């Protein structure tokens, strides 16, 4: 298989950080040669940037605050995110967006912090790494309002319905697909939608350590997902689209390099 890029790995999570060298070696053994480390709060955004600096051309960082944490965001700590996002080793603003599934933060706070991230992306010219769950009716008009000023944006871990997919594609947003696609219990509605995503809009991710693909055989002993399992997502996309695994690997890598402005490996 050609080399792959995981656009969303929470490598700062304790379950992965404590054995990071093994996780990275395992990923490269499975042709996952570059990974975007998700920043989802101040601590993980700072750590992601440090990892990107330590593992040049292997790891890249995003800088942001997940909507779950929006209720605690102050002007002072968002200024830290802004400083991180402006760093050359931070390749995107986010994770940011709206999550009305769990409502861990009040919805007005989520929307306020979401718009702060959008304005930061406009200021820096960097793409947005977006989260949306059960919030399409508010998320879509907000991103649409700003779309012409944003360089690019990806709706990461897309799990929505056809209406949402088409609306995001109409805004020229990119779509990130995870192991949710491989879950026969809750991902079945995604199967016919995958072929509707243009090649230059599709990217792939594990969202490790979450969302372990359920099509891995033999099943891993641990339920912890990691970037090495990205090929099983590619395999499922191949089954949905009729394209070869090699084609999907090549297309998603090319799209990801352009989106995050990554240097090609030596």
Is-contact 38 10, C-beta < 8 A?
yes
Distant-in-sequence, close-in-space partners of 146: CB < 8 Å, separation ≥ 6: 115, 118, 122
* pLDDT band for position 266 (cuts 50, 70, 90): very low
- Cβ count near 238 (within 10 Å): 17
The position carrying tokens 């297309």 is 251
This model's pTM is above 0.75: yes
Give the pLDDT mean for 21-41: 97
Distant-in-sequence, close-in-space partners of 80: CB < 8 Å, separation ≥ 6: 42, 45, 46
- What is 4-260's CATH number, 3.40.640.10, 3.40.1740.10, 3.20.20.140, 2.102.10.10? 3.20.20.140
Give me the half-sphere count of Cα atoms (radius 13 Å) on the Cβ side of residue 223: 2
In the chain, what percentage of residues exceed pLDDT 70?
98
Residue 195 has pLDDT above 80, yes or no: yes
Q: Where on the phi/psi map is residue 172: left (φ > 0), alpha (ψ -120 to 50), or beta?
A: left
Give the pLDDT mean for 27-43: 97
Tell me if the bond preceding 123 is cis, omega within 30° of 0: no
Give the pLDDT mean for 210-230: 95
Note the pLDDT tens digit of each residue in 136-194: 999 999 999 999 999 999 999 999 999 999 999 999 999 999 999 999 999 999 999 99
Query: According to the model, what pLDDT value does residue 201 have?
Result: 98
Q: Which residues on neighbouring strands pair with residue 6, listed in sequence order?
A: 35
Helix 136-146 to helix 162-170 angle, to the nearest 10 degrees? 10
């Amino acid at each position: 298989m050609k080399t792959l890029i995981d656009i969303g790995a929470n490598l700062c999570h304790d379950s992965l950080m404590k054995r990071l060298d093994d996780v990275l070696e395992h990923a490269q053994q499975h042709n996952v040669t570059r990974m975007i480390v998700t920043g989802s709060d101040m601590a993980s955004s700072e750590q992601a940037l440090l990892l990107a600096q330590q593992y040049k051309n292997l790891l890249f960082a995003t800088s942001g605050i997940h909507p779950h944490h929006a209720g605690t965001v102050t002007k002072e700590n968002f200024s830290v995110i802004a400083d991180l996002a402006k760093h050359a080793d931070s390749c995107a603003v986010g994770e940011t967006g709206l999550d009305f599934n769990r409502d861990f933060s009040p919805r007005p706070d989520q929307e306020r912090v979401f718009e702060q991230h959008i304005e930061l992306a406009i200021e820096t010219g960097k793409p947005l790494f977006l989260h949306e769950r059960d919030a399409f009716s508010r998320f879509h008009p907000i991103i649409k309002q700003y779309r012409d000023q944003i360089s690019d944006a990806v709706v990461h871990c897309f799990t929505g319905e056809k209406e949402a997919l088409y609306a995001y594609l109409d805004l020229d947003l990119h779509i990130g697909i995870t192991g949710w696609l491989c879950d026969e219990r809750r991902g079945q509605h995604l199967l016919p939608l995958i072929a509707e995503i243009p090649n230059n809009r599709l990217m792939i991710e594990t969202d490790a350590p979450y969302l372990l693909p359920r099509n891995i055989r033999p099943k891993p002993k641990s339920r912890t997902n990691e970037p090495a399992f990205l090929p099983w997502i590619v395999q499922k996309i191949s089954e949905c689209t009729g394209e070869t695994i090699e084609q999907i690997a090549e297309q998603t890598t090319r799209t990801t390099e352009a989106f995050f402005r990554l240097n090609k490996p030596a």
